Amino acid sequence: MKSNLIWLGHSAFQLTTPEDKVIYIDPFLSGNPKTPEAFKKVTRADYILLTHGHEDHVGDTLDIARETGCKVVGIVELIALLKKAGLAEDQAVEFNKGGTVNFEGFSVTLVSANHSSSYGLAYAGEAGGLIVRVEDDVTFYHMGDTNIFADLEFYGQMYKPDLVAVPIGDHYTMGDFEGALCCELIGAPYAIPIHYGTFPVLTGSPELFQAHAAESSDTQVLIPKPGERIVLPEES
């Protein structure tokens, strides 16, 4: 993996492509107790990709967009709400389920997730997952907030992700056991747990997720710490 992928706690990631494009996914940073202090303030970004409208995913999007002028990519209804809240028209990139948008050196496809979505008290379209394909490099599937559903098997066959970010916290998403079954359906070589431990109700265990996945699939679970670069074993 030539890209630089860093988990920032909860569901947030920073991805820097080989073309030196800086991408944030679900940038809940300044209010995130798990995000390392060095990553809480963003001064450079080219793109923000959003899975859905909840506060712990949209996070610092508007502040980052104002600071950097980056593009913000998300489902139609959420982007419309962000524009009403101050996102500039020329920074807004809207799409919908099944759609792919292409940028310099990478593409993003919006797929389904089983979850709700609102921004403030307003309906923000459906929740989704993101298939991020970096040219001649990694395909990264961020599942967003979800539980298990049968289409995951098709996503594995169609998109062939190298790495999957799986929410395992329970309470608002699936837990560690159900997350491991998702690994079996998707069939990616590697997975990492997300959306756990940020708040007391998110009780899913990354170690149990790792153990369950080893029993039910061929997926190898990596457990990074917030702020760590994710290195696939084949790179070591």
What would the pLDDT profile of 6-27 be if each residue is shown by its tens digit? 999 999 999 999 999 999 999 9
Q: How many CA atoms lie within 13 A of 91 on its CB side?
A: 24
The pLDDT value recorded for residue 46 is 98
Asked if the domains at 1-138 and 147-224 fall in one CATH topology, the answer is yes
Cα–Cα distance for residue pair 5/106, rounded to 1 Å: 14
Tell me the mean pLDDT in the region 105-119. 98
CA separation, residue 187 to residues 60, 211, 223 (Å): 32, 16, 18
Residue spans per domain, the chain: 1-138, 147-224
Give φ, ψ of 109 to 5 degrees. -115, 135
**What is 1-138's CATH number?**
3.60.15.10
Is this structure's pTM higher than 0.85?
Answer: yes
For residue range 188-220, list pLDDT tens digits in order.
999 999 999 999 999 999 999 999 999 999 999
Q: What would the CATH number be for the domain defined by 147-224? A: 3.60.15.10
pLDDT at residue 234 tops 80: no
Does the structure show a pLDDT above 60 at 236?
no
Single-letter amino acid, residue 80:
A
Q: Give the tens place of pLDDT for each residue, 43-91.
A: 999 999 999 999 999 999 999 999 999 999 999 999 999 999 999 999 9
Residue 37 pLDDT more than 70?
Answer: yes
Instruction: Please compute the mean of the pLDDT values over residues 126-130 and round it to a whole number.
Output: 98
What is the pLDDT, as a whole number, of residue 233? 87
The Cα–Cα gap between 42 and 38 comes to 9
Instruction: Report d(CA 116, CA 13) in Å as an integer.
Output: 21
pLDDT at 39: 98
pLDDT band for 235, please (50, 70, 90 cuts): low
Distances (CA, A) of 9 to 22, 47, 196, 197, 235: 17, 19, 9, 9, 23
Mean pLDDT of 114-137: 97
Structure tokens at 55: 């506060």
Q: Which helix (H) or strand (E) holds 140?
A: strand 139-142
Residue-wise pLDDT for 151-177, tens only, equals: 999 999 999 999 999 999 999 999 999
Residue 227 has pLDDT above 70, yes or no: yes
Using the structure block, give the residue that is written with the tokens 């089983």. Answer: 114
Beta bridge partners of 100: 109
Pull the structure tokens for residue 198. 């940020």
CB-based contact 160:77 (threshold 8 Å): no
How far is it, in rounded angstroms, from Cα 191 to Cα 179?
10
